[in-house]
Amino acid sequence: MKSKEAYKTIGEVCDILGIVDPETGKRKTHVIRFWESKFKNLKPSLIYKNRRYYSNSNIILLKKIKKLLKDDGHTIQGAIKALSLNNNEIDTSQNTNINTEKLKKFKDKIKNLKKYING
């Protein structure tokens, strides 16, 4: 069994993040590779035969990216912007909740404005 500090393969990271097809049980490694192409600060180590290996800091960043995209509903650009607010890091225990509340209030304002415009 690997230690917690050991680098993880892309398949192991899929298991950690829960990025697995529920019907087939197949790991969705393509999702992580796509995120790598969009989030430039996400750089796994390419070791043995150019295979990707992820450090704990990579996995923490991937968890934040997944939360922003899947749980909070950000677009790729929105998630990139959210991550860049605090030097490419975001404290998901605090800032994400604030951003989510601000987003809800903004959506409510838009709905009210549409009602006002449409009569």
Give the CATH number, domain containing residue 24.
Answer: 1.10.1660.10
Q: Where are the beta strands (DSSP E) in the chain?
A: 8-9, 45-47, 51-54
pLDDT given at position 91: 43
Give 11-45 pLDDT, tens digit per residue.
999 999 999 999 999 999 999 999 999 999 999 99
- The total domain count for the chain is 1
**In a domain? residue 83:** yes
User: Which two tokens mark 89?
Assistant: 């890091």
**In a domain? residue 54:** yes
**In a domain? residue 39:** yes
Question: How much is the average pLDDT of 95-118?
Answer: 68
pTM over 0.85: no
Residue 26: domain span: 8-92
**In a domain? residue 70:** yes
Give 57-91 pLDDT, tens digit per residue.
999 999 999 999 999 999 999 999 999 885 544 44
**In a domain? residue 88:** yes
User: Distance between CA 86 and CA 94 in Å, rounded?
Assistant: 12
> Is the CB of residue 10 less than 8 Å from the CB of residue 33?
yes
User: Distance between CA 10 and CA 29 in Å, rounded?
Assistant: 6
**In a domain? residue 113:** no
**In a domain? residue 100:** no
**In a domain? residue 64:** yes
Helices (H) then strands (E): counts for the chain:
5, 3
User: Distance between CA 22 and CA 33 in Å, rounded?
Assistant: 19
Amino acid symbol at 5: E
